[in-house]
């Protein structure tokens, strides 16, 4: 019988990454079965309630400390560990000859610098506009930024000949430096292929496929997932294309995007045709190529060899039922949804473009599912699932327990900024999911050998747990579809 303890610390604040580490530190204390230290956002409260905690009234500015203990005897040590962990997290590093830090973005930078903005979405406009006023390009990593703020930033940047990457720009490579969630490639920013991406994990998938094909990538300029929407009109995509076209080292350009507004895609294709550098578009959408097929077409156009994309393990058990796709990458989820819908019919998702197929807050239905755990609605006050797998692991266990689940489809995205060893938690969860009925699990592992996690090391660990692992998300999705369609070989 476990003991539950919940306390609310009014007005206390720490960012979600800090609180994730605090929670992990407390969870390692003797006598603590589970620990969640989090801000009292609606999503976090929902997660805590699902874990069995009774919660008092809170506001989003409160911090909640929730502990599941083996006995009352463990409470004092656990609370002491909470205090210590929070004190350590809030203590600035000591430095000799310490100088007071700048109080504004503009006072901290010089013209020509690149400024990365990662603050709560409602505050990103102020900091990013400050950087533009200083003559800097900006990468806005922040999500949950209002579209009106995005337009204000991009129109200002266009007027000044600057570039805004984002908002919600998860991945970029500029001058050989990876920003956000970025894979380590041999080219290291010096290759002849430039990428413009209205997609973080889509950009990563393309970079990793090109790496596997031996093609070096130079700059990869993220522009934010809404840039090719009708509201934004491709403002940053146009600026990024001009920037790459002016670079003599760039010989080819790829534009990667989630499904764009048709009129925006057409206008950008017309603009690209006026540039000196050849541009190919890898735009997801009904009737369009998936990213892997698009990369293969580009390789053929460049007279480069199309390799056999690597796989690890093999699922041999026939199955029937629903495909349950649980993703940390939004574009990978979108791609899988498009492929599965073409083959299986109706697919329910929290990012569906059809209101009839939109999932409710439970993220569950008796249907084929594709869930994006990195969607803005699921990251308010929480660490991105590429860093914290907790929420997805809970849904993995739920999907495995449902006898109507015919196959589980997952993605793992490697690189700088991502979880240090995703297989350490995911492989045991896959093994548990497969125990009892040999449930097929197919994984897209997007990464390179040079990534800190190591592509082969991660893929082999997942395959060792019984999964079938692919570098290509499209191939993994088609494999999961094949399994539930009776085509397992």
State the fold for domain 105-164. Rossmann fold (3.40.50)
**Nearest by Cα to 208 from 309, 300, 331, 337:** 309
Q: Is the pTM of this model over 0.95?
A: no
Predicted local confidence at residue 301, as pLDDT: 95
The CATH number, out of the four listed (3.40.718.10, 3.40.50.261, 3.30.470.30, 3.20.20.150), of the domain defined by the range 311-484: 3.40.50.261
Predicted local confidence at residue 15, as pLDDT: 77
In CATH terms, are 3-90 and 311-484 the same topology? no
- Which segments of the chain have a pLDDT < 70? 1, 90-112, 186-190, 317-318, 487-489
Predicted local confidence at residue 428, as pLDDT: 97
Q: How far is CA 411 from the centre of its chain?
A: 10
Residue 71 in tokens? 């006995």
Instruction: Tell me the CATH class for 3-90.
Output: alpha beta
Phi and psi based region of residue 52 (left: phi greater than 0; alpha: psi -120 to 50; beta: remaining): left
Predicted local confidence at residue 488, as pLDDT: 45
Per-domain boundaries in the chain: 3-90, 105-164, 169-307, 311-484
**Alpha-carbon separation of residue 307 from 114, 212, 295, 404 (angstroms):** 36, 8, 11, 36
- Cα distance between residue 180 and residue 224, in whole Å: 12
Give the tens place of pLDDT for each residue, 40-87.
Answer: 888 788 888 878 888 888 888 888 999 999 988 889 998 998 888 888
Q: Tell me: domain 169-307, CATH 3.30.70.600, correct?
A: no
Q: Is the peptide bond before 167 cis (omega within 30 degrees of 0)?
A: yes
Helix axes 235-245, 262-273, angle to 10 degrees: 20
- Cα distance between residue 186 and residue 195, in whole Å: 15
């Amino acid at each position: 019988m476990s003991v539950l303890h919940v306390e609310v610390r009014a007005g206390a604040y720490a960012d979600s990454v800090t609180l994730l580490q605090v929670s992990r530190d407390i969870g390692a204390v003797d006598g603590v079965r589970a620990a969640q230290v989090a801000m009292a956002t609606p999503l976090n409260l929902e997660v805590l309630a699902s874990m069995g905690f009774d919660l008092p009234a809170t506001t989003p500015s409160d911090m909640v400390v929730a502990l599941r203990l083996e006995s009352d005897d463990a409470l004092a040590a656990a609370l002491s560990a909470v205090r210590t962990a929070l004190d350590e997290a809030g203590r600035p590093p000591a430095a000799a000859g310490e100088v007071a830090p700048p109080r504004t973005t503009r006072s901290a930078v010089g013209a020509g610098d690149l400024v990365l903005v990662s603050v709560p979405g409602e505050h990103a406009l102020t900091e990013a506009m400050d950087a533009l006023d200083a003559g800097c390009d900006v990468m806005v990593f922040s999500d949950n930024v209002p579209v009106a703020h995005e337009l204000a930033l991009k129109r200002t940047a266009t007027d000044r000949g600057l570039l805004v990457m984002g908002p919600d720009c998860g991945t970029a490579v500029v001058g050989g430096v990876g920003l956000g969630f970025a894979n380590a490639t041999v080219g290291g920013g010096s290759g002849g292929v430039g990428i413009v991406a209205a997609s973080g994990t889509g950009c990563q998938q393309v970079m990793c496929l090109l790496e596997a094909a031996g093609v070096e990538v130079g700059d990869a300029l993220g522009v934010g997932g809404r840039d090719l929407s009708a509201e934004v009109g491709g403002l940053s995509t146009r600026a990024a294309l001009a920037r790459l076209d002016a670079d003599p080292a760039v010989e080819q350009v790829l534009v990667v995007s989630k499904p764009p507004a048709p009129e925006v895609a057409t206008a950008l294709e017309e603009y690209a045709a006026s540039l000196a550098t050849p541009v190919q578009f890898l735009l997801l959408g009904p009737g369009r190529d998936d990213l892997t097929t698009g990369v293969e077409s580009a390789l053929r156009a460049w007279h480069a060899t199309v390799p056999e994309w690597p796989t690890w393990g093999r699922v041999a058990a026939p199955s029937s039922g629903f495909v349950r796709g649980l993703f940390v990458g939004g574009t990978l989820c979108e791609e899988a949804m498009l492929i599965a819908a073409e083959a299986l019919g109706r697919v329910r998702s929290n990012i569906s473009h059809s209101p009839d197929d939109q999932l409710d807050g439970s993220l569950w239905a008796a249907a084929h599912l594709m869930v994006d755990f990195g969607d803005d609605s699921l990251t308010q006050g929480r660490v991105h699932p590429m860093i914290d797998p907790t929420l997805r692991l809970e849904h993995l266990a739920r999907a495995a327990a449902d006898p109507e689940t015919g196959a589980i489809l997952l993605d793992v995205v490697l690189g700088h900024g991502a979880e240090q060893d995703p297989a350490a938690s995911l492989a045991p969860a896959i093994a548990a999911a497969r125990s009892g009925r040999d449930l097929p699990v197919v994984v897209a592992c997007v990464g390179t050998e040079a990534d800190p996690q190591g592509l082969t090391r991660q893929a082999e660990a997942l395959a060792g747990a019984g999964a079938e692992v692919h570098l290509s998300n499209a191939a993994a999705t088609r494999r999961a579809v094949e399994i539930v369609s009776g085509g397992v070989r």
